[in-house]
Amino acid sequence: MATWTQLGLQDASSPLMEELTYFHDYTLIILTLITILVTYGLVSIFSSSYTNRFFSEGQELETIWTVLPAIILIFIAFPSLQLLYLIDEVNNPFLTIKALGHQWYWSYEYSDYQNIEFDSYMVPSSDLTNGLPRLLEVDNRLILPHLNPIRLLISSTDVLHSWALPSLGIKMDAVPGRLNQVSFILNRTGLFYGQCSEICGANHSFMPIIIESVPFNSFENWISNNLEE
């Protein structure tokens, strides 16, 4: 979970987010080198008192500053395209979850199991106990097994919403009448927090998301208890 003093990205909790973090650092290094080069060129131009009054064109120089940016963009584009395909890829998911956005809460359905569906509302500040985050805690968490591929089907029953969880590198719009899908794998156990990222009305800020990543045995026990109920 992000804190108010955090400037960088959240710790990656999925292979997708790890790749996004690597791509972010890789692109940032390229931008830093370009900034240093341009700054050096500007300083050298303004600090030099020498001019060439017969200088009218530079074919070689124009070729260099046209070809060089094109090569840099190619080196940025290939990893970016690879990430786009990785985001859309869904291969043999272990579990499928349906997430529906409402004004203003989320509802979940475990499609592979009968009779397991619930609504997830934000816990009011007056009901919070010590240690629970304000505006982020919910009454029913989404329980998922770690180290297993999960497919999430996302839609909405009323207006546009967006199911976003930064530590997993996921942000998918919930569109009425449309079914979007995204896949991910949880690298570790723990609690992962997210929120609706599409302005959906007066209580847009009060529909958080919590994934509770648990070992597979704990997930089986949770499923068994819910099926018995």
CATH topology of domain 95-228: Immunoglobulin-like (2.60.40)
Q: Residue 109: its pLDDT value, please?
A: 93
Q: Residue 54: its pLDDT value, please?
A: 67
pTM of the model: 0.80
Contacts of 101 (CB under 8 A, 6+ apart): 154, 155, 156, 157, 158, 161, 162, 163, 174, 196, 200, 207
Q: Residue 112: its pLDDT value, please?
A: 82
**Cα–Cα dist 43/29, whole Å:** 21
Residue 3 buriedness (CB in 10 A; 0-12 / 13-18 / 19+):
exposed
The distance of Cα 227 from the centroid of its chain, to the nearest Å, equals: 32
Give me the helix-helix angle, 59-88 and 15-47, nearest 10°: 160
Could you tell me whether strands 190-196 and 95-102 are parallel, antiparallel, or unpaired per DSSP bridges? unpaired
Q: What is the mean pLDDT of each run of 10 residues along the chain (229 residues)?
A: 75 87 92 93 82 72 87 90 79 88 93 85 88 88 91 93 92 92 90 92 92 92 78
Q: Residue 114: its pLDDT value, please?
A: 73
- The residues spanned by each domain of the chain are 15-48+57-88, 95-228
Q: Residue 228: its pLDDT value, please?
A: 63
Q: Residue 229: its pLDDT value, please?
A: 60
